[in-house]
Structure 1
């Protein structure tokens, strides 16, 4: 399983005074390898086993890279958001890719993919489901990343990252707080994502947010949550490239926008932002000017700083944030609107 291990860790790139970007080639390689290794140790994954998973992005690619090296059959259930170049690459790696076209009545395309996945798991004897949304080995794998941050930077004051499956932010912050209990953790989401209490709606950002709530999102790890619109995320992705030469995907741009703002607002604090993958999958979308012109709000002025909302359930037309204060989702929603204090920690 360890042939690709050298590609798992991030490069720590200085972006400003005490601000660093943790730039990954493909962050999902780490949890994918870790989950498969643990499954093999526990007897769930045997030679020639069929791996079945739901993914429209980098976790599927990570599984395909590992499956081709170790002789596993891989079936991926995806949807329209799957980039055509990534689709072609998955096929080249031997993965069997099935596309779900219609969203489920509740949970959207993510739930429709999971429903289709259950059929494969039922019909293929001895199949294995890594289950990136619910497998506790996902966040557990990020102890390696936390160790790298400590070795390189020493004490960290703030960790910022996009939230999708919940593994990277929940796992990394949990490990770091064993040494730095005052670590300030900021999750980055997008409107219409249910992860932090928004009503479910259409999502236009691969890898950010979701229409189902994974158990790997540990809400008690977060001090603050930000929501950025697609136009804001894509503008930040271009800024990261133009200002720092980092050609990254949109989830990285989202983390960069929030981390850069928080770093300026809290001088002297050491801040690390998680940048999950490089920008090659987004050449025909995020990095294409004609495509960007189709994005709502792209041509207009965008917020230079977030607006503090009194509830994560509020409609959000632009960059917004909320003081989460390490509470559960139920606790936050029960007390939402009681105050706007604690915006900057």
Structure 2
């Protein structure tokens, strides 16, 4: 019996790990849902930003780059600093795991980690204040400002080219956590250069200021990096067509469901995006929905995957459709944002 031909596999020998892991694996989850599965999405942001800053002379080899991070940007920046002979100083969230911290330190990064804190809003404010303290004491450091500097958009143009090459002549929609705004915004803008109608669906946790849910608090929230306790300049509200707000429990259901149904081990933000994309794709069957899977599930093993028996059945879950932020309520709400420029204008 003849065996089927194996799928295409990359044969390039890379000179640095950042080249090997920056591009995602594309995995078809249904007829009109495709997962962009990353080891760490933020490689695109860090590479694009550092290359631009080196090119214009803002930084030089040997300089120290500093920033605040909840995990995957920190690791991406440390890898890029390793590649370009730069020093790296990370102000780490309380949610940064020992596994990520060990990698950062082996790569030569200096890591200041915030003390254990259940209130992620306080954790984020503390990190930003610590960066400012460092800059006052060390004015030669360069603050990467991943939350605010649009230089972090640049690297995602390459991702948009990859998507269009993999899915030619396909009407697309992007489903992504909002986070700093750079990954979703950096991907959607070049895609809209070819199809201005391409929808962008953003994912938020309850308690984030970015899209007006700060009056809520999810006691189990550990969905690091997809919301914010402070306004981010890189979150451009007028890029988003629809916003989903989900609790930890619903994001967990998505992450466990993705693993169970497709054998994909991915983080909570990916689980939330998967849940939202499945719902949205049923209502817009004419577009292929790209789910941005920012990272693997390794930093959520104990709090999420070890508790898989507690997970809700994603097939039984659906959002409450709202017309304004006045109607926003846990555990899952969805609203047509319609590219409004600011949260208070919705």
The answer as to whether partners of 1:200 and 1:211 remain within 8 angstroms in 2 is no
What is the CA–CA distance in structure 2 between the aligned matches of 1:21 and 1:121, rounded to whole Å?
A: 39
Is 1:312 aligned to residue 325 of structure 2? yes
Report the equivalent of 1:31: 45
Q: Which secondary structure state, in structure 2, belongs to the residue aligned with residue 194 of structure 1?
A: coil
Per the normalisation by structure 2, the TM-score is: 0.88
Contact 1:201–1:211 (CA<8 Å) still a contact in 2?
no
Distance 2:172 2:314 in 1: 31
Pick one of 66, 69, 72 that aligns with 2:83: 69
User: Paired residue for 2:229?
Assistant: 211
SS of residue paired to 1:143: helix
Give 1:156's aligned residue: 171
Q: Which runs of 5+ in 1 are unaligned?
A: 337-345
Q: How does 1:27-66 map to 2 (within 5 A)?
A: 27-66=41-80
Which of 256, 259, 284 does residue 274 from structure 2 map onto? 256
Let me know the Cα RMSD of the aligned residues. 2.4
Matched positions, count: 327
Rounded Cα–Cα distance in structure 2 between residues aligned with 1:24 and 1:147: 16
Q: Could you list the structure 1 runs, at least 4 aligned residues long, displaced by more than 3 angstroms after superposition.
A: 200-203, 298-303
Instruction: Name the counterpart of 1:124.
Output: 138
Alignment of structure 1 residues 1-345 onto 2, 5 Å = 3=16, 4-101=18-115, 108-154=122-168, 155-199=170-214, 202=217, 203-289=221-307, 304-312=317-325, 314-330=327-343, 333-334=344-345, 336=346
Task: Give me the whole-angstrom Cα distance separating, in 1, the residues matched to 2:27 and 2:256.
Answer: 17
- Distance between the aligned counterparts of 1:229 and 1:302, measured in 2? 16
Show the counterpart of 2:3.
none
Q: CA deviation at 1:120?
A: 1.0
SS in 1 for 2:175: strand
Partner SS state of residue 37, structure 1: helix
CA deviations on 1:118-171 (whole Å, 9 max, x unpaired) are 111221242111111111121222111111111111233311111100011111
Distance, in Å, in 1 between the alignment partners of 2:267 and 2:120 is 28
TM-score normalised over the length of structure 1:
0.88
Task: Tell me the secondary structure at the aligned position of residue 143 of structure 2.
Answer: coil
